[in-house]
Amino acid sequence: MIIYGLKRDKNKQLYSILGKLCNKQVRAGWINGERYETGASIASVMNLLNNGGIVIGEDNKAISIPPRPFLNLATKLTEADINMVWKEDFIYSLKAILIVIMYYMINNIKLAIETTNEPPLSRMTIVRRMRTKKYRYALDKPLMETGKAYNSIKGEIINV
């Protein structure tokens, strides 16, 4: 993201936030170590049911558990959802966020121009403004002679 007229290092905080966002992971499943009343880990049981395996029953006999790859199906479904979200929702959301940021940037540049009073204009500048009658704002307001630069502040979103 570029604020024209400002050095890139002024945007370090924004770059930091975006970098942190890009390094996030999402997990779902049985991740908090929950257990059945018997003490068996729910995650381990679900893994066994997904992949199949052999367990020892109450009568000490081996029981074959056939694989029921529900997690594989969930992964495929999630991949399809991620692709849809990435292509549609994420890009839409990212654009919406960037538009809001862009308008904040535009408004903050304008606010900074409006509130800048130091250093004050020289007497010569004020006299010149009076003679040419080109000023549209306060006669002694720095950065606001005709308003052309102020009114031409625009924003754009690049590469989204």
Residues 78-115 pLDDT 10s: 888 777 776 777 777 777 888 888 888 888 888 888 88
What's residue 53's pLDDT?
93
Q: Is residue 74 part of a domain?
A: no
pLDDT above 90 (res 117): no
Q: Is residue 129 part of a domain?
A: yes
Backbone angles phi, psi at 55, to 5 degrees: -125, 160
Tell me the average pLDDT across 115-136.
79
Answer yes or no: do 59 and 132 share one domain: no
Answer yes or no: do 48 and 117 share one domain: no
User: DSSP secondary-structure letter at 41?
Assistant: B
What's residue 134's pLDDT?
66
Q: Is residue 6 part of a domain?
A: no
113: domain range?
A: 82-160
Q: Is residue 149 part of a domain?
A: yes
Of the ranges 5-19, 59-73, 80-94, the best mean pLDDT one: 59-73
Answer yes or no: do 58 and 125 share one domain: no
Give me the number of domains the chain comprises: 2
Entry pTM: 0.48
More confident residue, 10 or 16: 16
Q: Is residue 88 part of a domain?
A: yes
Answer yes or no: do 87 and 115 share one domain: yes
Give me the count of residues in the chain.
160
pLDDT band at 136 (very low <50, low <70, confident <90, very high): low
Please state, rounded to an integer, the average pLDDT across all residues of the chain. Answer: 78
What's residue 25's pLDDT?
65
What's residue 154's pLDDT?
86
